[in-house]
Amino acid sequence: MAKKILVIDDDSSVRDAFEIALMGCGYEVTVAENGEQGLAQAQRARPDLIFLDLKMPGINGVETLRRLKASDKTLSVYIVTAFSLEFMAELDHARKEGLNFQLAAKPLSPEQVRIIAQTGVGAS
């Protein structure tokens, strides 16, 4: 059975790039353009791994992370962003709340995306 990966990012080119990089490896990829859609997608089908952007309209990535973890503390989340410094205080607070996540800086090459997926959930 294919591992499920959810990509939550407001930039369609980023979503497309992640989808292309991962689908070629046999993962089942679902995308969402904002936190609300990502939460709904995660409720419909629990993902094995989530790539989550921080800077999005509506609820940002940190709040999306809080809500995801409130429903399932075991979710594996990689926050992928070019704005980590802007959100450092919020991310530090989230870690102090006990929220587990990994942080990766954009841009990521397709190979880096695949390595994170393989490390996070294994080969599909």
DSSP state letters, 44-62: HS--SEEEE-SS-SSS-HH
Q: What is the pLDDT of residues 50-68, one digit of tens each?
A: 999 999 999 999 999 999 9
C-alpha 55 chain-centroid distance = 12
H or E segment to which residue 35 belongs: helix 35-44
pLDDT tens by residue, 64-105: 999 999 999 999 999 998 887 889 999 999 999 999 999 999
Give the domain ranges of the chain.
4-119
What residue ranges in the chain does DSSP mark as E strands? 4-8, 28-32, 49-52, 77-81, 102-105
- Choices 3.40.1350.10, 3.30.1490.20, 3.40.50.2300, 1.10.4190.10: CATH for 4-119: 3.40.50.2300
